[in-house]
A and B are shown apart, each in its own frame.
Chain A
Amino acid sequence: MDLRHPYSDPSARVQLLYRLPTAPAPRRLLVVAESPELRSEVAAGWGSGEVMACDSAGFLRLATERSDCFDAVALPSTLSARAASRGIRNGHLLRAACRLLTPGGVVVGHLEHARALRRLKRPSAVVQLIAAAFDGDAICGPTGCCRLLRQAGLAAGECYYVQPHMHSPMGLVPSEAAAARAHFLRAVRSARHHWRASGHVVRLALCWAGLGGMLQGELFFWARRPC
């Protein structure tokens, strides 16, 4: 690793995001992801503390057998924008995380943003979004994410837009309406020379309307099990 530029590697920045919310000592981490690559990536950046990894089916089984045994649960791409993805509901996963966490422990993760414009270019994504609007378990945006975190018994939930994307993250944008609007307006104005005039105007209009979040394809969240 380049000691002066430890975050020059995109993977190091992903790992850094997963370390942002402070986990209590002794920092035992459980990484839950379907992809073995994602599990290794998040686990590798954890530093000191025990690390265990599994897929979501294994995670749900584990939560029936044990409780209060992890200080952090990472859910990289584990929750779904769609309702009941792979037959597993988001609410079940979050309740399992809450059960496995020690008091004060943190759940942290990222997922696809269902309302991202880029995603909505696909007709199937539009249909999924409409279906998700009628399903309390689906996560369409940051508000829905924070609601599900609360319903699972987790507290102090926060959800951000990832800028520009999780493959090479450079920032987390707050999802509170006024802050998000102000942030996206600033970002688009300061990068005026990056786009043609028409592209700039469209982005500016979206941000003025408070829809700047639709330009971002992923959400990042965290919450704690109450002490």
Chain B
Amino acid sequence: MLSTVLELVDERGWFDTATPHEKAIHLTRGHCLWMLLSRGGKLHTHVKFSDCLSLEVEAARCAAASRSYPELAPRFVGYARHRGIDILVSSAVESAAIDPMTFGDQLPPGLADYFSAMPRARAAADAAATANAALLEKVAHYFEAHPLAALARQWLEPSRLGPIADLATMPQHGDFVLNNLGRLPTGRLVVFDWEDYGAVSLPGLDLFTLELSLADRRGLAPARGRAADRPLAREACAAMGLPQSDYDRLMPLYALVFRYLKRNYGPEVRERMDAEITGLAGAVLA
């Protein structure tokens, strides 16, 4: 499998495998592997590959993210399918994890840019049809036969949720959590893992997941109450042009959409998220 991947990467001119290099190979619990190609320890190219599932949609999403956020997303290099193996290549970047304790209440510079660019961002073609109203239907349908059905019905009650058809559509990263953010040696912010980019265009979802992961990593309870009382949420809403009142009322939907996006993840992740959502009941309905 590895020779096929390396030959293709070399043939397409994405990485010269004839020059000395090193490989770090990472397995996942899903359906793919990824490999970091480096020279003298310096990261160069990120190769994701699978012999089980197509990476074509993911490649289109990564390419769209790379176009919409050239300063924040790793550069998309290419996609190919050869001898039953799907290969998705992007540039590899050296970055450090972000310490949640140093995050502060204000949006750091790169994040402010992310939220302010969001209204102009464009998703890949496959995501164009996912309008907010259609998303609501899909989510409601998904939770019909789910252990969280009763909670979902309560949260999605139209009188509680309010109208969503007239909300702006802004492609969301879909897994905008602290683990997917990093800081380059230059101090610039980088955002990884764009495989769900544009699958959802519900404005505010990324802010919700960011707030959730920040609270989790700081060992705090999930944010509750009005966005107006939280400087980070207030600033991000202003950057996106999303009314704070909309962000507040959509919190139950954000929680369910986040879980819906993880529906194809492994049982461990799904069960952990179900427990988290149950724990959120107090916060999102506050």
Q: CB within 8 Å of B: which residues of A? A: 2-8, 13, 16-17, 19-22, 160, 169-174, 176, 178-183, 186, 189-190, 192-193
Contacts and interface: CB of A to CB of B under 8 A. Distances in A.
What class of interface size applies to chain B in its complex with A?
20 to 34
B2 A8 contact: no
Nearest to A186: B94
Contacts of B25: 20, 160, 171-172
A16 B1 CA distance: 9
Contacts of A174: 22-24, 38
A94 B217 CA distance: 49
A8 B29 contact: yes
B41 A182 contact: yes
Interface of B: 1-4, 22-31, 33, 38, 40-43, 52-53, 94, 96-97, 99, 217, 264, 266-267
Nearest to B32: A7
10 shortest interchain CB distances as A-B pairs: A182-B41, A178-B41, A179-B22, A22-B3, A174-B22, A172-B25, A171-B26, A8-B29, A190-B97, A179-B41
The B interface, classified by DSSP as helix, strand, loop or mixed, is mixed
A169 to B, nearest CB: 6
Given A20-B2, A179-B40, A8 B24 contact: no
B53 A176 contact: no
B27 A173 contact: no
A61 B24 CA distance: 36
A181 B41 contact: yes
Contacts of B99: 192
Contacts of A178: 22, 40-41
Given A20-B1, A193-B217, A179 B24 contact: yes
Contact of B266 (A8, A182, A193): A8
Contact of A21 (B2, B41, B96, B266): B2
A7 B28 contact: yes
Contact of B31 (A6, A169, A179): A6
Nearest to B20: A176
Contact of B30 (A5, A180, A181, A186): A5
